[in-house]
Amino acid sequence: MSLPIRNVAIIAHVDHGKTTLVDALLKQSGIFREGEDVPECVMDSNDLERERGITILAKNTAVRYKDTLINIVDTPGHADFGGEVERVLGMVDGCILIVDANEGPMPQTRFVLKKALEKGLRPIVVINKIDRPNAEPYGAIDKVFDLFIELGADDDQCDFTTLFASGLAGFAKNELEEEGTDMKPLFEAILHHVPPPAGDLSKPLQLQVTTLDYSEYLGRIVIGRIHNGTIKAGQQAALVKENGEIVKAKISKLLGFEGLKRVELAEASAGFIVAVAGFADANIGETLTSPDDPQALPLIKVDEPTLQMTFSVNDSPFAGLEGTFVTSRQIRDRLMRELETNVALRVEESDSAEKFLVSGRGELHLGILIETMRREGYEFQVSQPQVIYREVNGHPCEPYEYLILDVPEAAVGSCIERLGQRKGEMQDMQVGGNGRTQLEFTIPARGLIGFRGEFIRLTRGEGIMNHSFLEYRPLSGDVETRRNGVLISFEEGVATFYALKNAEDRGAFFISPGTKVYKGMIVGENNRPQDLELNVCKTKQLTNHRSATGDELDQLQTPVEMTLERALEYIGSDELVEVTPVSVRLRKMPSKKLAKR
């Protein structure tokens, strides 16, 4: 197949308009027929992606422009899913860096750009959302250039092409003063500035597995780029495993990409990104090659995890009531299956058969896994996330994060004070003209555990917080992350309005009347530093003169909603989050003894 090809990745900070821009490119390319109902963010096919408005899994599509096939890989913008970014950058020869015209480069911009520059890619910079109020396109370009210099870009990479765009309005242009009508300038930039893929057709086949998919009809499907040689449907091929073992099998199906669909191919050559069926045991990073002359490509390297938590079998009094998969074997099998596709995840078995140590890139990375499992019917419990320490040059070190806060002026002092207590060091402070201030910090990763909820309170919900992994540094000493104690139920039953109303002065509740509770379950936050046990199932004694409707004018304060992410950030070292398909509960570890009220 001699069709001209361009392979390009789209990289950006989360919420800078990456997926919306891909939508505009797809619509411009004419892959949707006239009158077809096209959803927004068509590349975000996962339910969790649509709900949260973020890209979690790297996905690829292909469009044709002027007889050139352009493979576009949409990558996650969140550093927690950096494993997805690292493995797909090996498939492409160029990248489009999207930067918000108002915000400029953000922590994840730094993260994904660093990975692209290390691969030697020369980015095309797109300043997006130029039609929004407060947009400063030229200021954003200056910040991007400074970031390129800071990340050690070479002269060619620093001489980047810049376009101005609005993904929502569906236009891109070379000069800010021009009239923007469509996405043609971006297509032209891809043709002129992204090099065609290198690869030798005469060499033996080499295809590196970068993504795994599954089909009920075809079984496991491997997706990757052909680095050398040619591949044909029905031919014999060899898979070089991570341990060097060679497995031979027949390619039962060869698929290419056309828009959002996969199309069957007879053959494909070097430079193409294809999907291949027939290798049931293939894993990410392994090489599909010629059986006569098997030659493996270097394995994909990804950054190591920085956070760890314990997944264990649910042993609460309500265990097994709401979940379908509840045994240690079922949980273990599901975690091991996740390892096949989630390259940044690590799973270790502990000294107990019912506990597994799961390590990931951050709270969001692990939180998405937990949410996915509970939606699949799994029931289990997890511990507080802990940072992973490492030894660097013989010294114990811990992970540090680069943190950017965008806060109202009134909250600046309290945020600086609180981060100082958590060993954060302020690097920069920029006062905006719109009553907001941007603060930059470096902070130990453990100093950020549990900070998000506190940050929401400090800024009255108006603050924006972004952070990404920076590096490992020597230990910073004790980090103060103290929070108030918790309110704990000391008996099993159903929470009543009467009991909750009587205890309202003790703190804020996480539950409402009618919630089933058990002994040791956390039902709220105490106003004081100590933990306190309460009877939240107590009922009022009724008499002839006192009816059950006597309190109907009384109202309870609205309970604090404990979402999964909030629960993971909130719990202490002696607490657990019980996760089921129906509920998210907080509880104390069983051995904890407390004074009753």
HSE at residue 39, side-chain half, CA atoms within 13 A, is 7
Residue partners of 591: CB distance under 8 A and separation at least 6: none
Question: Is 129 annotated as a binding-site member?
Answer: yes
Question: Is 502 annotated as a binding-site member?
Answer: no
Measured between alpha carbons, how far is 488 from 464 in angstroms, rounded to an integer? Answer: 32
Question: Is 19 annotated as a binding-site member?
Answer: yes
Question: Is 20 annotated as a binding-site member?
Answer: yes
Phi, psi angles (nearest 5°) of residue 444: -60, 145
Measured between alpha carbons, how far is 572 from 589 in angstroms, rounded to an integer? Answer: 10
Could you tell me if 238 and 248 are in contact, meaning their C-beta atoms sit under 8 angstroms apart?
yes
Question: Is 131 annotated as a binding-site member?
Answer: yes
Measured between alpha carbons, how far is 437 from 415 in angstroms, rounded to an integer? Answer: 11
Beta bridge pairs of residue 404: 440, 466
Question: Is 16 annotated as a binding-site member?
Answer: yes
Handedness of CA 188, 194, 200, 206 (dihedral sign): negative
Handedness of CA 441, 442, 446, 449 (dihedral sign): positive
Phi, psi angles (nearest 5°) of residue 430: -125, 120
Residue 379: CB atoms within 10 A of its CB come to 27
Question: Is 519 annotated as a binding-site member?
Answer: no
SS3 string, 478-503, reads CCCCCCCCEEEECCCEECCHHHHHHC
Measured between alpha carbons, how far is 334 from 46 in angstroms, rounded to an integer? Answer: 18
Measured between alpha carbons, how far is 108 from 111 in angstroms, rounded to an integer? Answer: 5
Please report which residue ranges of 467-582 form alpha helices under DSSP H.
497-502, 564-570
3 state SS of 399: strand
Residue partners of 247: CB distance under 8 A and separation at least 6: 238, 239, 241, 279, 281
Could you tell me if 53 and 15 are in contact, meaning their C-beta atoms sit under 8 angstroms apart?
yes
Could you tell me if 140 and 101 are in contact, meaning their C-beta atoms sit under 8 angstroms apart?
yes
Burial label for 500, CB within 10 Å (0-12, 13-18, 19+), is: buried
Measured between alpha carbons, how far is 107 from 534 in angstroms, rounded to an integer? Answer: 43
Residue 35: CB atoms within 10 A of its CB come to 6
Binding residues, by number, are 15-20, 128-131
Binding residues for GTP, by number, are 15-20, 128-131
